[in-house]
Structures are given as C-alpha cells and as structure tokens.
Amino acid sequence: MNETKTPSEDNLVYEVSLNSEDLGGLNPHLLVEKLSDQVLVKLPSIKVIAFYNTKGKGDALVNLKFFSTYSIPAYQINKLQEQISAIATTLRDELIDRIEDAQHSSV
C-alpha cells in the first residue's frame, strides 16, 4: 500500500485561504496548479498542498499550505513568505488579466 507522507507542521512556511473574492472568477484548480508549478520552479525546496472545501459555504474554497522540504531557520521564513506571496499575487493578477482580455476580445 502506498502512503503519501504529509510534511511536518514544523516545516510549514506559509498558509493562505482563498475564497471566491480572492480568486476573481478564476478556477481554483487552475490557480493551484499554476501556483504549484511556479513555486516549484522558483523555490524548489517548497512543497504546496491544497485542501479544497466542498461542504461549507462560508468557508474558504481552497486552503493552501506551503512546506519546506527541510528545516529552515526562523530568520529565513519571513523572506520565503514574502517570495511566496509575491509569486501568488503576480500569478493571480496575470490570470485575471488574461481572462479579462479574452472576454474583451470575444465581444
């Protein structure tokens, strides 16, 4: 039997919850896939795990947790958090712009 090893909460670097307002009409699966890819390329020591909410309407649609594959000194965690946040914000904005451009070009 194959078991997926969940990273230790001790190596949790960043956590974010996304709701429909945060996503701006984006498909949450698309955002998570693209974000995971970009984080892997730019920060190869970070693993992204997504938890999708399918039940509660008031809860976030997606909770993302970013784990380091190794123990990180506390002074480096803030820098990693800033980098992950910048990657996520830039990606979200780029995807929203693409959607808006596609909507305008189809009119």
List pLDDT tens digits, range 76-107: 999 999 999 999 999 989 988 888 888 888 76
pLDDT in tens, 10-59: 789 999 888 877 777 788 888 899 999 999 999 999 999 999 887 766 66
In a domain? residue 70: yes
In a domain? residue 21: yes
Ordered DSSP codes for 53-104: --S-SSS-SEEEEEEESS---HHHHHHHHHHHHHHHHHHHHHHHHHHHHHHH
In a domain? residue 100: yes
Predicted TM-score of the model (pTM): 0.79
In a domain? residue 1: no
What's the number of domains the chain is made of? 1
In a domain? residue 25: yes
In a domain? residue 17: yes
In a domain? residue 4: no
Give the range of the structural domain holding residue 16, as residue numbers without chain letter: 9-105
Amino acid present at 16: V
What's the CATH number where 46 sits?
Answer: 3.30.70
In a domain? residue 93: yes
Classify residue 78 by burial, with Cβ atoms within 10 Å: 0-12, 13-18, 19+: exposed
